[in-house]
Structure 1
């Protein structure tokens, strides 16, 4: 019986991924649909359960420092391990938000939430398991001034990366932005992909033997209300359409070339 988990799964792409996993896994699967609003989690899980698969709603706030570990322990106790983890939780910001006032929570959710998810769930992966972080092609180094590249390439542990991301957060709060781009989504996404690369470097040999895939995934532009604040998304795919490539990566046999990389529609997007 396959066990899967999606974070940030009560709307948009996350909800589409949870529904897609439920359809593809069928009655023998269990999908954990997670979010931080109890009513929305319950309603979303009930809707996703109509296909016969067991969809369990679980409260999970990735900004809570202990939440990932606690949920991982619960799943380990119930199932022994997990087959698919998709980290999709994200704090969304709009063009009118002041980066200085939102950067603290933004980093706590998007970046520290990602590294906590990786630490908690990588040890639970079953043979053939997939651990995916939804990111973006904006998270590649060519979007960042070269003087800042080593902030994300030098760290060799997740703790070291967390320190660098916290340093960036503090610089934004203190207006010491220097060469940093004004669009905080860029360094944040780079940090997410760097986290995947660091974890993959530590686990590569053992994961290869077990058929495990750890990767970041870019779903591309999606027609959502949040994206519409920034770009014209009128012709972009819907969340259900965008979920297809992510689900393929999560459920098809792992390809070695994808390991530790950012993958978009089955192709590797170079980090640098």
Structure 2
């Protein structure tokens, strides 16, 4: 079967990743293919089967095992898709690890950072080169990913940084966590905050290098914030979910961006929430979130 367009979503067994695959499979065409990826083969197969068998599915759906913490595996899949299909049209880096308030942040740091940040870096490095002109590559982040959510002492680590420098900053943060020096250096106690800022900084770094070529071609590289989504990853952290979106509802704005024929050039390299750019320098250090760790 000849494939017209290829879309790939990481961390797609459940939550918003699964909802994005469902939406892509329903809104793309019968000659297109959506790749649902995750670390657990059994869960990947089950999730892909559920989407493929759903009444609204129009596109071909295929489950693929992909551990985003394995940069070699990410690179190999990008090369394979590039050789087989001539590139990819939509890439969503969505994988994240569970973070809970009942365990110390340092105990959870390595796995969380490896998935959320190492995985983001691997996806940007490997799938950027095989993204077709006019394609879309987005990293699912958070409104916490703006620079103002960090202590001003840390801003220089991420503002205007290259991808290599972002990776170095993330490693420095991880080292500080294990050395017990993170707080005195200004890092928030809640891992999610520096992780999201680093994700957006990584997107900005890659976008800065590609902007002159991508924007005229209609290609988009950006970070997206789907808002507060009712999933098992967010449930432990927020007491009030009355305003939270279900994964399918949260996925809609992201899908609209991914599948739009034309995107606003102002979106390129930015953090987008509900069709608007969140200013990179906005935000304030989230002391309330730190209190969650001691409540």
- Is TM > 0.5 for Structure 1 vs Structure 2? yes
Given the alignment of the two structures, is residue 161 of structure 1 paired with residue 166 of structure 2, yes or no? yes
Alpha-carbon RMSD across the aligned residues, in angstroms, is 1.0
* Separation (CA, whole Å) in 2 of partners of 1:185 and 1:235: 20
| Aligned partner of 1:197 among 196, 201, 204 | 204
Query: Could you tell me how far 1:154 is from its partner in structure 2?
Result: 4.7
Given the alignment of the two structures, is residue 64 of structure 1 paired with residue 67 of structure 2, yes or no? no
Given the alignment of the two structures, is residue 9 of structure 1 paired with residue 12 of structure 2, yes or no? yes
* Separation (CA, whole Å) in 2 of partners of 1:5 and 1:65: 16
Query: Could you tell me how far 1:180 is from its partner in structure 2?
Result: 1.0
Could you tell me which runs of 5 or more consecutive residues in structure 1 were left unpaired when the two chains were aligned.
none
The 5 A counterparts of 1:22-41 are 22-41=25-44
* Separation (CA, whole Å) in 1 of partners of 2:121 and 2:23: 25
* Separation (CA, whole Å) in 2 of partners of 1:89 and 1:234: 25
Is the CA contact 1:223–1:235 (under 8 Å) kept in the aligned structure 2? Answer: no
Is the CA contact 1:2–1:82 (under 8 Å) kept in the aligned structure 2? Answer: yes
Q: Report Cα offsets for 1:188-224 as digits up to 9, x if no partner.
A: 0000000000000000000012110000000000112
Given the alignment of the two structures, is residue 256 of structure 1 paired with residue 269 of structure 2, yes or no? no
Query: Could you tell me how far 1:175 is from its partner in structure 2?
Result: 0.6
SS in structure 1 at match of 2:28: helix
Could you tell me which runs of 5 or more consecutive residues in structure 2 were left unpaired when the two chains were aligned.
282-295
The equivalent residue for 1:188 is: 195
* Separation (CA, whole Å) in 2 of partners of 1:42 and 1:267: 35
The equivalent residue for 2:219 is: 212
Given the alignment of the two structures, is residue 176 of structure 1 paired with residue 181 of structure 2, yes or no? yes
Q: Greater helix share, 1 or 2? A: 1
Query: Could you tell me how far 1:97 is from its partner in structure 2?
Result: 2.1
What TM-score results when the alignment is normalised by the length of structure 1? 0.97
After TM superposition, the structure 1 stretch with the greater mean CA deviation from structure 2, 57-66 or 9-18, is: 57-66
* Separation (CA, whole Å) in 1 of partners of 2:22 and 2:160: 38
